[in-house]
Structure 1
Amino acid sequence: MQHRSLDFRDADAVIAEIRHLQHGGYTKLGKWNLAQMCDHLRQTLRMGLDGSDRRLPWVVRTLVTGPIFRRVIKTRRMKSGIPVPKELVPTSPDGPDDPAAIDACIATLQEARDASGPLPKHPVADLTVDQWKQLNWIHCAHHLGFLIPHAQPVAEAPSGIETASGPP
């Protein structure tokens, strides 16, 4: 099986996909299950919502991570295999999905959806609220693409999601 190419345009599309995977089941292509992905995504969303005292130096944010993130937003794709900082590694156990981890992620996605800014200082890049949101929806699509749903959705895909993959 191949990684799905997803493109979420808003938090509601991400939430719908998480619920679809949670209730319909999935095949895992990578190392993490749905709850572990949700744990990681929640942690990265919290960094943007809460800010951080530890920030990369201005020159790195301006000349390295800023351009990388702007390219991700422009292409709507993230590279695989980038090491995850220790503080963003999921704490949810392997095995059956933990519904509490999934619900916490969804609550944080809703908070991010409703954020109007200004946001606290992000630790790795200087982004507008819209750039931050789009980067996070792309990040969610990147990870959730490693889960192949067992069941197809009954209704059409929500308006905020675009898929570029064929049938699993």
Structure 2
Amino acid sequence: MPQLRNLQFPNIAAAVDDARQLLAGGYVRHGNWSLGQICRHLVLVQDLSIDGCPAWMSVFAPLRPLMRWWLLPKLLSGDSPRGIRTAPMFVPPGDLDDAVEVEAFAASVERLLRHPGPYAPHPGFGRLPPEKILEIHAAHASHHLRHLAAQVETA
């Protein structure tokens, strides 16, 4: 199994910078998704912080205290679990243009940062302060973008 990057963004804007660097310099995949697919997934998830979640996601509300206690510290420390299947609505198609999706990700991050608040409750963690929501999105971006490594030129 290839070594994943040890990646922990200090903020969500740093994730955009990383995605743009991977786009500009090329990358090697060490996971299932391309840069474009990762960026689309991140947009689909983080836009829910402003637009709200589908009603069916509230079925998990009783588990939020447990999720805040057990999963949130793991996610924020960079120790998020691998191999957990995401809901089909968050799985990106395979034929995406990396450049288009990186810029869509950048626009989504800009929208998050400019949002006057409050953010919608997180489906897994509930209502959180704005800075915690942004920290969660930065950690989520780290989790996915660590599966891409910068292309190394060989002489």
When normalised by structure 2's length, the TM-score is 0.85
- Count of matched residue positions in the alignment of Structure 1 and Structure 2: 149
Instruction: Trace 1:11-160 onto structure 2 (pairs within 5 A).
Output: 11-54=12-55, 55-63=58-66, 65-93=67-95, 97-126=97-126, 127-150=128-151
Give the % identical residues: 26
Q: CA RMSD in A?
A: 2.0
Asked if 2 retains the 8 angstrom alpha-carbon contact of 1:39 and 1:92, the reply is: no
Q: 1:73 & 1:32 partners in 2: Cα distance?
A: 20
Relative distance call for 1:72 and 1:48 in structure 2 (3 A) is farther
Q: Which runs of 5+ in 2 are unaligned?
A: none
Provide Cα deviations, 1:112-142, integer angstroms capped at 9, x if missing partner: 2333521123322212211111111011011
Q: Which runs of 5+ in 1 are unaligned?
A: 153-168
Q: 2:143 & 2:50 partners in 1: Cα distance?
A: 20
Q: 2:84 & 2:107 partners in 1: Cα distance?
A: 26
One-letter code aligned to 1:90: P
- Higher helix residue share: 2
Deviates more, 1:128-137 or 1:71-80: 71-80
- SS for the counterpart of 1:21 is helix
- SS for the counterpart of 1:8 is coil
Question: Who is 1:5 aligned against?
Answer: 6
